Amino acid sequence: MKSILTPLLCLLAASTAVAAPQITEIRLQDAPGFVAPPILINELVFRSDGNFYWNEGTLEKPVKHRYSIGSEGFQKLAAALETHGFFELKPKYDRLKPTDPLIMDGSSVVVSATRDGIQKHVVDYSGFGPSNLWEVEMIIRGFASQYIGMKRTPIIRATVAKSTPPRTSTPIPVIRGTQKTPN
C-alpha cells in the first residue's frame, strides 16, 4: 500500500505546484513632450533570450543597436523589477494630486514589462511617479549603460537634450535707443 501511495502523492504534488511568474521582456521608452521636429526615438528593450536593443535617432533616421547580455543578465534585471514592486504600480502618474492641473507638454518615461504574456505599462509624465518607479528606471538605464559602454545613461530626455540653446560665454550687449525731445 505504501509503495502505491508514495508515487501518487508525488504526482499530485507536482501537478499542484505553481510556476514562478516569468518576465519575458522589459522596455523603457523616453517620450518627448511637444517639441519641434525632428522627433527623437529613445528606447531600451531587454528580452529573455539574452538580447538587448537600443533604438535611437529620429523618426526619419532610426538607428538600432543590438547587444547580447545573456539570460543571467536579463534574470537579474527582471528580479530587480520584482523587488522594487513594479507590477504593483499604477498605470499612470501625471500629477501629485487629482486637483492639480495636468501638464500636457512635459516629457514622459514609459516603462513596460511582459510577465506571463501580460504587458504592464507604467507612464511617468514629467517625473510625477513614486520613488520606486524612478529606481526601476535608473536600474534599467544603469544596466544598459554597462553594455553600451558609456559613463552616463544612454538616453537623455529629448526635451532637455535638443530644445536648450547652447550657452555663450560672452554676454549679449544691450543696445538702448536715445530719445529726442521736441524743441
- Domain CATH code at residue 101: 3.30.1560.10
* Residue scoring higher pLDDT (84 or 149): 84
As given in the structure block, the three cell numbers for residue 161 are 537634450
CB 158 within 8 A of CB 108: no
Tell whether 178 is covered by a domain. no
Detail the DSSP E strand segments found in 37-171.
Answer: 40-47, 51-58, 62-68, 92-93, 108-115, 118-125
Strand partners, 33: none
Residue 168 has pLDDT above 70, yes or no: no
pLDDT of residue 176: 44
Tell whether 63 is covered by a domain. yes
Q: How many domains does the chain have?
A: 1
Tell whether 123 is covered by a domain. yes
Tell whether 7 is covered by a domain. no
Tell whether 175 is covered by a domain. no
Strand partners, 10: none
Tell whether 122 is covered by a domain. yes
Q: Look at the alpha carbons of 94, 85, 25, 141 in this order and tell me if their dihedral is positive or negative.
A: positive
Share of the chain above pLDDT 70, in %: 67
Residues 82-109 have a mean pLDDT of: 84
Tell whether 2 is covered by a domain. no
Tell whether 47 is covered by a domain. yes
- pTM to 2 decimal places: 0.67
Please report which confidence band the pLDDT of residue 48 belongs to, taking 50, 70 and 90 as the band edges. very high
pLDDT of residue 37: 67
Instruction: Please state, in angstroms and rounded to a whole number, the distance separating the CA atoms of residues 137 and 77.
Output: 11
Share of the chain above pLDDT 90, in %: 33
As given in the structure block, the three cell numbers for residue 149 are 559602454
| Host domain of residue 153 | 20-160
Quote the DSSP letter at residue 62.
E
Residues 140-155 have a mean pLDDT of: 67
pLDDT of residue 39: 73
Instruction: Please state, in angstroms and rounded to a whole number, the distance separating the CA atoms of residues 156 and 135.
Output: 16
Residue 8 has pLDDT above 50, yes or no: no
CB 77 within 8 A of CB 94: no
Residue 74 has pLDDT above 90, yes or no: yes
